Amino acid sequence: MTTTIYLILTAVAGLVLGLIIMQIIQKKKSSSIIKKSEQQARRIIKKSHQESDRIKKEKMLQAKERFIELKLDHEKVINQREKKINEIENQVREKEKNLNKELQRNKDLNRSFEQKSSNLDQRIQKFDRKSQSLDEAEKKYQIKLEEISGLTAEEAKKELITSLEDKAKTDAMSFIQNSIEEAKLSAEQEAKKIIIGTIQRIGTEEAVENCVSVFNLESDDVKGRIIGREGRNIRAIEAATGVEIIVDDTPEAIILSCFDPVRREIARLSLHRLVTDGRIHPARIEEVVNKTSKQIENEIAEVGKRTVIDLGIHGLNPALIKIIGRMKYRSSYGQNLLQHSREVAKLCGVMASELGLNPKLAKRAGLLHDIGKVPEEESELPHAILGMQWAEKYGEKPDVCNAIGAHHDEVEMTSLLSPIIQVCDAISGARPGARRQVLDSYIQRLKDLEEIALDFNGVSKAYAIQAGRELRVIVESEKVSDNNAAELSFQISQKIQTDMTYPGQVKITVIRETRAVNVAK
């Protein structure tokens, strides 16, 4: 029993001792962990301080770099502004220089006028002196007459007055004639100076209009695809565009012949698309021609916009801009109408500036003076009157409208712009190589051929090809039968034979096509 108790006490004492030892060990471990934690915390704090210093340095460096970038951008903006300011200053100096020249010119003109005025005053004084001497001579003459002839003073006075009147009239007429001749001479010299200076300041190119275009091919194999089976493709292209396609032995090229540049351009672009795409058949041809026609309409509007922007003309009605674009595809006596109008506008601007008029208004009238030559439908009115009516319709100023209508003397000139437009139009058209009368008469003959065919019932389209030696007439199948087609061809030939004069022969070909179209849904 005692032994057991002893063992229990020993075990309890050992357990207590073990717990104490464990607690001591645990406390040592805790203290070591705390020390390690404190050391680790100090290392972390130190590392964080280092990291914060590094980040702070990086941020400061970035801030400096950003500051430098902003400074450079600011300096660039300032330099650009300074450059613009310098440009504006240069423009102001140039304008001031031109203004000084103009003022000097006005001063010279004033001095010239003053000199002429002084000369006129001197002549008047001379005339007065002559009058005084004539009065004295009259008195002496009167006394002598009274002494010699024994005439009364009244009779002598009448005779003297008659002789003096004749002498005064002669002197006055001589003086007036000299003054008029001198004024005419100076005015003619000044006008020549202005016109010559204007022509020298405007550089122009000579315009030559052709009636054919060459379409280049990659190989001669494409010619067969363009012609098609039994020629159906080439006939479809000619019917859709009104252009004659000449396929001959010329290597890798075919020729497009037509007097209308718009039709020729549509045919050229359509052929380019068809050859590039590779699908060439009648249905595809019609689709491509329609798309190309719309593209040409858009290009006409774009050409009009570029023209008015280049000339610095603002506020034009969109309809007038489109009319200006159409002038690119028209010619007058072989001279491209748009190029001619641009040239006239520049000449008018320079001449108006020389004469002290509004150059912008003169440019506007010069550009629009021939818009009556490009109507969408034929009109019996002269092109100047038609252009004036369009200008009035689309809100142009009365001076511009009068200048357009009066540049061929169809209406009376009521503005100073009108003679300027007339003169500049003559300058542009009269220079060597500008116009060719032969081309214009040739195109007019082709148009007359087409108009004769279009006057007959059932005719939808008419195209003059082969330089006017052949007229192809496309009729509506619902209105003209096969039997009537032959009769129509004969009637057109007789009409041409009686109403027109032309070299050689004209072949009339009437084309009638019947289509059956259904849609599968």
- Give the Cα separation of 473 and 510 in Å (integer): 5
Q: What is the 3-state secondary structure (H, E, C) of 30-50?
A: HHHHHHHHHHHHHHHHHHHHH
pLDDT at 437: 47
Residue in the structure block whose two tokens are 């009556």: 372
pLDDT at 207: 41
pLDDT at 466: 74
pLDDT at 208: 42
Which residues, other chains included, contact 303 with Cβ-Cβ below 8 Å and sequence gap of 6+? 324, 325, 328, 338
pLDDT at 334: 63
Q: What is the pTM of this model?
A: 0.45
In this predicted model, what pLDDT tens digit does every residue of 395-433 receive, in sequence order? 888 888 998 888 888 888 888 888 888 888 887 776 554
For 70, 125, 209, 471, 507, the CA distances from 445, given in Å and listed in that order, are 72, 69, 16, 12, 15
Q: Tens digit of pLDDT per residue, the chain (521 long)?
A: 677 777 787 877 778 887 888 888 877 777 778 878 778 878 888 887 888 788 888 888 888 888 888 888 888 888 888 888 888 888 888 888 888 888 888 777 777 767 776 777 777 777 777 777 777 777 776 676 566 655 566 666 676 677 667 666 666 666 666 666 666 566 555 655 555 555 544 544 444 445 556 777 777 777 777 777 878 888 888 888 888 888 777 777 788 877 777 788 888 888 888 888 778 888 888 888 888 888 888 888 888 888 888 888 888 888 888 888 888 877 766 677 888 888 888 888 888 888 888 888 888 888 888 888 888 776 778 888 888 988 888 888 888 899 888 888 888 888 888 888 888 888 777 655 455 545 566 777 888 888 898 989 889 989 888 767 788 999 988 888 887 888 888 889 888 888 887 656 788 899 988 777 788 87
Phi-psi region of 333 (alpha: psi -120 to 50; beta: other; left: phi over 0): left
Residue in the structure block whose two tokens are 């061929």: 408
- Give the Cα separation of 307 and 313 in Å (integer): 9
- Give the Cα separation of 371 and 401 in Å (integer): 11
Q: What is the 3-state secondary structure (H, E, C) of 407-462?
A: CCCCCCCCCCHHHHHHHHHHHHHHCCCCCCHHHHHHHHHHHHHHHHHHCCCCEEEE
Find the distance separating the first CA and the last CA of the chain, reported in whole Å: 118
SS3 478: coil
Token representation of residue 452: 């004769």
pLDDT at 50: 82
Q: Cβ distance 400 to 391 under 8 Å?
A: yes
